[in-house]
């Protein structure tokens, strides 16, 4: 397996989480702004975490159908590198967010069957990146982070016009297979590196990134001081 696959670890809540992610060599860290999630953080906490992140670790804010007022507060106080829209935002809304905030936008798209795939092409016209996740079951409280995976054959060796990231039910024990079967160059994990909902586990983080990068590994982000 090649070692240039980029890792995003989402749902960080403490400076120790950020340090573990940075030291493991992940490329992105994600902060969740969704009150129903066990990974939710307030703006003050996210600001502290963002300032803990070393140069080279991209800081991503995950929001769910956030209005401009909420995004104004987040972007006004938290130094970010990307916005992740994880709700039912329309293509027009994605374009509006890009224009208003001048940040790259990643749009999450839930997949359960082949009929869901055309949405990927639709959002590829407006988003900078795509996160292809397992569609939450009907009635689910969370739009993501449910620890569910979808049929990877649906996206096997697919090539869209924007960079894409595979998510949904990944952990250290299956991520190498997921990469080999789909050809993805980016992976996202949240619940798969936790000891309990919302509680990140540094050992699981290291194991996940090691499983992605193999022995050679991606160049690690400098250790925090």
Residues noted as catalytic: 10, 133
Q: Which two tokens stand for residue 216?
A: 């050679």
Q: Is 132 exposed, middle or buried (0-12, 13-18, 19+ CB in 10 A)?
A: buried
Rg of the chain over Cα atoms, rounded to whole angstroms, equals 16
Q: Which two tokens stand for residue 209?
A: 């990134």
In sequence order, what E strands does 11-79 have? 28-33, 58-63
- Cβ contacts of 51 within 8 Å, gap of 6 or more: 79
Alpha carbons 170 and 131: distance in angstroms, whole number? 13
Which residue in the block uniquely carries the two structure tokens 């995004």? 71
Q: Taking Cα atoms as reference points, which of 145, 164, 212 lies closest to residue 10?
A: 145
- What's the chain's length in residues? 225
> Degrees (nearest 5) of the Cα angle 10, 16, 17?
10
The answer to whether 81 and 58 have CB atoms below 8 angstroms apart is yes
Enumerate the β-bridge partners of residue 110: 133
């Amino acid at each position: 397996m090649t070692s240039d696959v980029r890792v995003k670890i989402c749902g960080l809540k403490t400076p120790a989480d950020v340090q573990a992610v940075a030291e493991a060599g992940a490329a992105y860290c994600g902060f969740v702004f969704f009150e129903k999630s066990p990974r939710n953080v307030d703006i003050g906490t996210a600001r502290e975490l963002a300032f803990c992140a070393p140069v080279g670790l991209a800081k991503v804010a995950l929001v769910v159908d956030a209005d401009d007022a909420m995004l104004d507060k987040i972007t006004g106080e938290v130094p970010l590198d990307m916005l992740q829209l994880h709700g039912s935002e329309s293509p027009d809304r994605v374009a509006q967010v890009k224009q208003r905030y001048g940040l790259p936008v990643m749009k999450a798209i839930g997949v359960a069957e082949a009929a869901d795939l055309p949405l990927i092409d639709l959002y590829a016209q407006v988003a900078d990146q795509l996160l292809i996740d397992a569609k939450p079951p009907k009635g689910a409280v969370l739009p993501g982070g449910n620890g569910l995976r979808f049929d990877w054959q649906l996206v096997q060796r697919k090539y869209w016009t924007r960079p894409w990231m595979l998510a949904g039910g990944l952990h250290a024990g299956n991520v190498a297979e997921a990469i080999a079967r789909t050809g993805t160059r980016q992976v996202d994990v949240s619940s798969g590196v936790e000891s309990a909902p919302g509680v990140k586990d540094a050992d699981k983080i290291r194991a996940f990134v090691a499983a992605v990068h193999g022995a050679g590994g991606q160049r690690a982000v400098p250790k925090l001081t």
